[in-house]
Amino acid sequence: MRKTVPVSHRALIQRINRALRDKGEMLKAARSPRVTDELGSHFVVRLTGKRSNIVTQRHADIEALGRELGVLSEWEHVE
C-alpha cells in the first residue's frame, strides 16, 4: 500500500496562486454566505487592475485545480 503525504489547505492555496499568477489570475475564498451561494467556497478571478475583477471559475475544487495545474502530486493529499 502506497502512503500519501499530507499538504495543508493553506499550502495548496499558495501553490495554486503562484501557478495562477502567470496567467493574471488568483484563487479567492468566499467570506460571506451570499458569496458562497453564488460563487462557491473558492473561486478564481482574473486580476484586471481596475476596481473590479472578473470571475473566471465558480465553485472551484481546490484539490482538482491543484492537480490540473500540476502543483499537487499524486503522492500528496489535502488535509
Mean pLDDT of 41-49: 92
Q: What number of other Cβ atoms are within 10 A of residue 32's Cβ?
A: 8
Question: What percentage of the chain exceeds 70 in pLDDT?
Answer: 97
Cβ 70 vs Cβ 10: under 8 Å:
no
Per-domain residue ranges for the chain? 6-71
pLDDT digits (tens, 9 = 90+) for 16-38: 999 999 999 999 999 999 999 99
Q: Where are the alpha helices (DSSP H) in the chain?
A: 9-21, 33-39, 62-69
- At residue 1 the predicted structure's pLDDT band, cuts being 50, 70 and 90, is low
- At residue 50 the predicted structure's pLDDT band, cuts being 50, 70 and 90, is confident
